[in-house]
Structure 1
Amino acid sequence: MHMLYNSDSFIVVQFDVPLTEAETDPGRQLNRGGFEIVDKFARREIFIEGALAESFQQGVQALMGDRQPSEDELDDFIERYASMGQQPVVMH
């Protein structure tokens, strides 16, 4: 688990879970994971994985390019994914 981003509006955490596929090749490592995006104002979260997580990662890399985007630019991009969140944030 790696916190990638924390602003007044959003938190983005990356999860990488290494899995071993012992049946076919004991030395082969697979990675499974994704991103958790928390919308602080709406108090909702979403966990994205697979193709959606890959699209998110590519979008962030394109946004970063060779410059440092502003917090507003990053928040605008993250909001597109966060708006899909339906899971309420619950404090334990």
Structure 2
Amino acid sequence: MHTLYNSDSFVVVSFEVPGTDGEGPASLSRGGYEIVDKFARKEIFIEGALAESFQQGVQALVAQRPGSDAEALHEVLDDYIAGFAELAQQPVVLH
């Protein structure tokens, strides 16, 4: 588990889960991203094709803005993440 992004609005955490089916190479893993909307107090876990799309979108946004100021990049990333956070249904529970 790695925190990839943390702003006033969102937290994005990456999860890598080792494969446990015993078949295929031991290096196979699956994982995804947990997106927490701090204001709505909801979270979503995305994996598979949706996680791949999310990752590619973030990489493209960062690549389009080399050397730009951090504040502008945070605004763009927050807007992008908000599109995925709209799918969140699970309330955040502290434990």
Q: TM-score by structure 2 length?
A: 0.86
**Shift in Å, 1:19:** 1.4
Q: Is the 8 A contact 1:21 1:28 kept in 2?
A: no
Structure 2, unmatched stretches of 5+, are: none
- Shift of the alpha carbon at 1:91? 1.4
Higher normalized strand content (fraction of residues): 1
- Structure 1 position 90 matched with structure 2 position 93: yes
Q: Tell me if 1:7 matches 2:10.
A: no
- Unmatched runs of 5 consecutive residues or more in structure 1: none
Aligned residues: 90
Percent of aligned pairs sharing the same letter? 64
Partner of 2:93, secondary structure, is coil
More helix by share: 2
Structure-1 separation of matches of 2:32 and 2:91: 18
Matching of residue 77 in structure 1 with residue 75 in structure 2: no
- Could you state the TM-score of these two structures normalised by the residue count of structure 1? 0.89
Cα contact 2:42–2:91 (8 A) shared by 1:
yes
**Aligned Cα RMSD in Å?**
1.6
Residue matched to 2:19: 19
